Amino acid sequence: MAAKDGRLRVFIVAGEVSGDTIGSRLMASLKKRSPFPIDFRGVGGVMMSKQGLESLFPIEDIAVMGIWELLPHLNKFRVKLKQTLEAAVLFRPHVVVTVDAKGFSFRLLKQLRARYCQQGMVSPLHFHYVAPSFWAWKGGEARLKGLSEFVDHILCILPFEEEVCKLNGLAATFVGHPVLEDVLELGSVNDTMNSGWKVHGNAEGFRNRYGISPGSMVITLLPGSRLQEVIRMLPIFSNTMELLKDSFPDLTAVIHVAPNQHVEDYISKAVNDWPVSVILVPGGSSRIKYNAYAASRVALCTSGTVAMELQLARLPCVVSYRAHLLTEWFIRYRAKVPYISLPNILLGSSTIPEALFQACTPSKLAALLMELMNNEGLREEQIRTAAKVIELLSPAKRHAGNSTRQDYVSSFLENSPSTIAASTVLYYSKTT
């Protein structure tokens, strides 16, 4: 189709900050490998804009997660969905790629497929990047069967997802976890041959840059990327620091601020009343982020993709999560896995301490952080298991087989998640 038109038209939609990073890397890989010029249209954030996407609207408009949390935004959600649908139809894409954010993505793909069928037109191929977490919910696998009506191919980031999708009638490809590409972006590939998949940050450089004294205890705080979760989690984090400051008089909190204007505005005002010294790290620079990780003793994060970044940085952490009471009740009732963080889920163990729902209190978090800061055995266990988690998520292992580590690294350069995803999109042939 692209050969006939002389250009490849890709409509791509990401609904949150982590999806924006995934989408931007996919766009870069598509441009590098496509035999034809590419036109992009869709919805994305700062990272996708750097790859040439002019977003239909700010990504923050649809970055809402939860059940009760979504209700106040339903009308705007419907308006943005309609706007995106009409833009996609006018664009006449050869391929549509949605990235995560399944609530918005699946509604868009379903309505788009229906529109093409009503008009008797040949529908573009539909790809969804990041499989829905069917493995986490009761009845989740059964719901995969209906997706084949409007999703042509799933790009999976976890190793076991591909087979399960195929068993349920969904074409799928395991591409690997996108966080692994931080190794490529930050030039840590050569180090990987000696120390496994790891990003080596510059701790001293970070401390010097922000004037942190050598004796200061640094804690990384990651309150989330969506405004609703940041509003809920940041006060809990603040009260946790209040409890820790007596044990660590020279305590510095490094808060990582997601590239979301609403989040940036909220955090910049909220930290004026914090009980400890605060450094705000903007979310646009991976290098500064990993330098901050390297300078920190521990991290306290809201459950999400950042837990995987901390594994890659080998920074021991505590995972926390709070939501509206109705959302928490739904999770308790429907979840079939005992953990919320992906590293614990993959390993089937509680290596990373989790403080969830009503247990997510400042006193509980402070106690967990204190133990992790002072207990070298616990720290070493997290660091050791982090290496195992990262190895599980690499597609290069499948391609390199039992080769040497150098071959393994070379294989990763040729078979990174974005590379595999781009090749799958460009050369996919739909079978009926």
Q: Averaged in consecutive runs of 10 residues, what is the pLDDT profile of the chain (432 residues)?
A: 87 92 96 95 95 93 65 78 96 96 93 94 94 82 88 94 92 92 74 66 95 94 92 96 94 94 93 95 89 97 92 96 84 83 91 95 98 95 92 67 53 80 90 56
DSSP letter at 146 equals G
Residue type, 72: P
Question: Which tokens in the block code for residue 391?
Answer: 């190895």
The confidence score (pLDDT) of residue 326 equals: 81
Q: Which structural domains are found in the chain, ordered by start?
A: 2-176+410-427 (3.40.50.2000), 182-392 (3.40.50.2000)
CA–CA separation, 77 and 99 (whole Å): 17
List the beta strands (DSSP E) in 3-110.
8-14, 38-43, 95-99
Q: What is the pLDDT of residue 64?
A: 67
CA–CA gap between residue 343 and residue 333 (Å, rounded): 22
Tokens of 373: 């800061």
As a whole number of Å, the end-to-end CA separation of the chain is 18
- Determine the longest span between alpha carbons in the chain, in angstroms: 69
The pLDDT of residue 106: 95
**Comparing C-alpha atoms, which of 315, 284, 312 is closest to residue 299?**
315
User: pTM of the full predicted structure?
Assistant: 0.89
Strand partners, 318: 300
Both structure tokens of 122: 């040949």
pLDDT of residue 195: 53
In this structure, how many other beta carbons lie within 10 angstroms of the beta carbon of residue 141? 14
Angle at 302 between CA 301 and CA 307, to 5 degrees: 60
Q: Which two tokens stand for residue 128?
A: 């969804």
Q: Could you tell me which of 278, 296, 312, 293 has the C-alpha nearest to residue 389?
A: 312
